Amino acid sequence: MQLNTIKPAAGAKHAKRRVGRGIGSGLGKTAGRGHKGQKSRAGGFHKVGFEGGQMPLQRRLPKRGFKSLARPYNAEVTLSELHALTSEEIDLLTLKAVGLVSELAKTVKVIKSGEISRKVSLKGIGATAGAKAAIEAAGGTVA
């Protein structure tokens, strides 16, 4: 195979439709636009979703739901999940490594759900008041 012999696959290339080029072309006179009406005229078009003055679909339907952009970046960890970890010093990277929080998580907060009976040291991780009290009661620290 030579560079000068390369050709596109059969049917991959096709001629551009040239409208308004006489009756024999099949696209003469009205050039495939039909007769009369806004869509047949030069410059006569409307925005996407326009329904001729009828209330558009996106305005007829009720507004529902909301997805916060901050949601995937704030994660929660329970006390029982912390208790199951083997390491004593816990930070965001540790939690991501063991798969407790998403890789996208930017902040983590410990919530009081479950029990913790071993000493853990939290670095750069928030905790609710109840969770902080439980960790400190077990001999751990929250920094």
- Is the model's pLDDT at 136 over the cut of 90? yes
User: Is the predicted pLDDT of residue 51 greater than 80, yes or no?
Assistant: yes
E strand intervals along 22-119: 74-78, 89-90, 107-111
Q: Which are the contacts of 17, defined by CB distance < 8 A and separation ≥ 6?
A: 27
pTM over 0.85: no
Residues 80 and 37 occupy one common structural domain: no
Q: Please tell me whether residues 43 and 75 are part of one structural domain.
A: no
Strand partners, 89: 121
Residue 22 domain boundaries = 18-47
| Domain assignment present for 66 | no
Q: How far apart are CA 54 and CA 44, in angstroms?
A: 18
Kindly state the percentage of the chain with pLDDT values over 70. 98
Q: Is the pLDDT of residue 88 over 70?
A: yes
Q: Is residue 117 in some structural domain?
A: yes
Q: Which CATH number goes with the domain that contains 134?
A: 3.100.10.10
Residue 140 has a pLDDT of 93
**What tokens were used for 15?**
């001629």
Q: Report yes or no on 4 lying in a domain.
A: no
Q: Are residues 89 and 130 in the same domain?
A: yes
Percent of the chain predicted with pLDDT > 90: 76
124 is a domain residue: yes
Rounded to the nearest 10°, the torsion over CA 10, 12, 18, 21 is 10
Q: Do residue 25 and residue 77 come from a single domain? A: no
**Same domain, residue pair 80 and 138:** yes
Domain match, 79 and 32 both? no
CA dist., res. 123 & res. 135, Å (int): 13
| Cα–Cα distance, 60 to 143 (Å, whole number) | 52
Domain match, 78 and 138 both: yes
- How many Cβ atoms sit within 10 Å of the Cβ of residue 110? 26
Residue 100 lies in a domain: yes
pLDDT category, 70, cuts 50, 70, 90?
A: low
d(CA 79, CA 113): 6
Give the mean model confidence (pLDDT) for residues 21-38.
Answer: 93
Please compute the mean of the pLDDT values over residues 1-24 and round it to a whole number: 94
As a whole number of angstroms, the distance between CA 109 and CA 42 comes to 60
Number of domains, the chain: 2
